[in-house]
Amino acid sequence: MIFDWSYALSLFANKSFWAATWTVIQLSVASWLLGILLGFALALAKQSSYRSLSAAAGSYIWFFRSLPLLVLLVFIYNVPQVFPSTSAWLGNSFIAGLVAMVLSEAAYIAEIHRGGLLAVPKGQVEAGKALGIRFFGIQRMIVVPQAFRIALPSLINEYISIVKLTSLVSVISLAELLLVGERLYTQNFLILETLAAVAFYYVLIVTVFGLALKALERKLDITRRTPSIAPELGATAAQVSFHTRLEPKGEYALELRKGLKSYGSNEVLKGVDLKVKWGEVVSIIGHSGSGKTTLIRCLNGLETLNGGTVLLQGEPFLRGSEEAEKSHRTRRNQARIVHVGMVFQSFNLIAHRTVLQNVMMGPLYHEHDSRESIRRLSLAMLAKVGLIEHAYKYPHQLSGGQQQRVAIARALAMQPAVMLFDEPTSALDPELVGEVLKVISQLAEEGMTMVIVTHEMSFAFGVSDRVVYMEHGQVIHDARPEELLQQAGSSRLEKFIAAVKQVA
């Protein structure tokens, strides 16, 4: 049998094929986009801390990944026989096919999204929480953009699979490419020629959309972006001075009373008391595992106390989860986290945002001022840490020391009453430590209230008003640096003192 080339070529101008191609494009794009939305909701639900919600999402994913699409298509199309009221919608082949494909594809796409969500560094989510950004704001501004970029190659591959799966919709008489081809070759029996044309149209759709989606992937790749020209620091920005948004009241800016924290049977904090006066710099030192980092994370709610109370400006701010009275765990009090700035050990800058966008993010979210005023303030904070020339770069284009200084500027842009530093130099190379410590020392000279967890003993004893030494979840010593250097009674403390004297 001779292949009829003239007939095969004539099919490329066949109106029925082009109409079917448009149907496939509509069905595949709609299924993909709706599947992405539903799949993301499922992925979030599966990761939820609410077991019932997580179990429901997991059951959905399990069921629809197990059910053949062909069976689902036939079932959805015949639902109107049982529920006649659905015939206006599901009686339409296109809508029935779309519903079936979205239900099925959402289960697969949910797992793709879950992989993307798990790949977003937890520290960036914590950075959002430290800025007082709520759950949906964190998802919108931090998690979703990054998770989508991570998942995009797999989502592109899934779109290609969807295009090919549209051929199954012919079973419910939707005039897509395969059904049009079947109708033709049952009339003329030119099966190979007709299927060759069907294959061409599928390849055409996959190629065009594949190239378009690859272009989108390249556009979203921040590693390909070239930073814009750094802004000039005008007179207006230069004149912006730092001030807190919280009026100092009472003797203490921040106070922890009887702080208790445990993970199962492991007690990390054992009734810790800490008082920080306005304008005071308190350094917390101690060996690894002494509870330093847990303590500082409990001061702004990143870790929930089991017992005890955190007071801000002399008023209840956070209360332990096991406390009998929980009236202070209100939205108003928890929203006051904006007055407690946090600088993390690992920087936790938002990877897909520029340096300037990182600094502006918190104030913009909370609508502290107009966008232009926040921009000027953010530029001033970047100038303060010596990084205004890097305003339009991305975090990956900076050194570790520069990233940490951006993190400090981001916290300062919120104009907090208290700054918390969780080992701000431990992730840096030795030659980069000095530039970060210099910025912190400058803040101390300006009267910023700070609590600093650090292993830099010479820095701690040189810049602090008080040094707190912890062991096994308890405060062993709390005194002025010169007094602490003279105290004895702890072999570990003596080793710290010896290390300080050696450095000096």
State the chain's maximal CA–CA distance in angstroms: 102
**Same domain as 404, residue 262:** yes
In a domain, 107, yes or no: yes
**Same domain as 156, residue 38:** yes
Helix, strand, or coil here: 329?
coil
pLDDT, mean of residues 479-502: 70
pLDDT, mean of residues 103-112: 96
Which residues, 6 or more positions from 244, have their beta carbon under 8 angstroms from its beta carbon? Answer: 339, 415, 416, 417
CA distances from 396 to 126, 145, 216, 314 (A): 19, 16, 21, 40
**Same domain as 160, residue 37:** yes
In a domain, 352, yes or no: yes
**Same domain as 401, residue 284:** yes
Interval 238-252: pLDDT, tens = 445 567 777 888 889
**Same domain as 182, residue 330:** no
Distance CA 392, CA 402 (A): 13
| pLDDT score recorded for residue 455 | 85
In a domain, 282, yes or no: yes
Q: What is the CATH number of the domain that holds 439?
A: 3.40.50.300
**Same domain as 298, residue 180:** no
The domain containing residue 335 runs over which residues?
Answer: 250-503
Interval 221-231: pLDDT, tens = 888 888 777 66
CA distances from 434 to 237, 308, 422, 441, 485 (A): 26, 36, 16, 10, 23
**Same domain as 255, residue 206:** no
pLDDT, mean of residues 374-387: 92
pLDDT reading at 279 higher than 70: yes
CA 464, 468, 469, 473 torsion: positive or negative? negative
Backbone angles phi, psi at 49, to 5 degrees: -75, -10
Backbone angles phi, psi at 34, to 5 degrees: -65, -35
Interval 55-103: pLDDT, tens = 999 999 999 999 999 999 999 999 998 898 988 888 899 999 999 999 9
In a domain, 236, yes or no: no
**Same domain as 259, residue 178:** no
Other beta carbons within 10 angstroms of residue 237's beta carbon come to: 19
pLDDT reading at 235 higher than 50: no
Distance CA 124, CA 444 (A): 26
Confidence of residue 489 (pLDDT cuts 50, 70, 90): low
Q: What is the CATH number of the domain that holds 86?
A: 1.10.3720.10
In a domain, 405, yes or no: yes
pLDDT, mean of residues 266-274: 93
**Same domain as 427, residue 320:** yes
| Structural domain total, the chain | 2
- Of 166, 189, 224, the residue at which a domain comes to its end is 224
Query: In which element (H, E) is residue 175 found?
Result: none
pLDDT, mean of residues 270-294: 92
**Same domain as 149, residue 254:** no
In a domain, 242, yes or no: no
**Same domain as 32, residue 85:** yes
In a domain, 403, yes or no: yes
In a domain, 239, yes or no: no
Give me the amino acid identity at 483: E
**Same domain as 218, residue 257:** no
Interval 338-373: pLDDT, tens = 999 999 999 999 999 999 999 999 999 999 999 999
Lowest average pLDDT, out of 115-124, 361-370, 494-503, goes to 494-503
- Of 208, 224, 240, the residue at which a domain comes to its end is 224
